[in-house]
Amino acid sequence: MIRRFGESPRPDVAYRLRPGAYAILPHRGRLLVTHQADPLPELQLPGGGIDPGESPVQALYREVFEETG
């Protein structure tokens, strides 16, 4: 899943702390995940960072829509 600890896979990019909201979306005994190919292939829960002035619920809806359509 989302590796956001330890060393960054890209030496020119550092991790930073940022609040986020992620969805667990079960459907017929399965979970919806997204695939990220770069910088390393990994499966992720749909979601992402919370923008300034945005509630966690607003961020969750926005991020899930952006990542799944």
Average pLDDT for residues 42-61, to the nearest whole number?
93
Count of other CB atoms within 10 angstroms of residue 18: 10
| DSSP per-residue codes, 13-57 | -------EEE---EETTEE--EEE-SSS-EEE-SEEEPPTT--HH
Instruction: Provide the whole-model pTM.
Output: 0.70
| CA–CA dist 46, 60 (Å, integer) | 8
What's the whole-number average pLDDT of the chain? 85
Q: State the pLDDT at residue 22.
A: 93
Share of the chain above pLDDT 90, in %: 49
Q: Which two tokens stand for residue 49?
A: 């960072």
Higher pLDDT, 15 or 56: 56
Is residue 1 very low, low, confident or very high in pLDDT (cuts 50, 70, 90)? very low
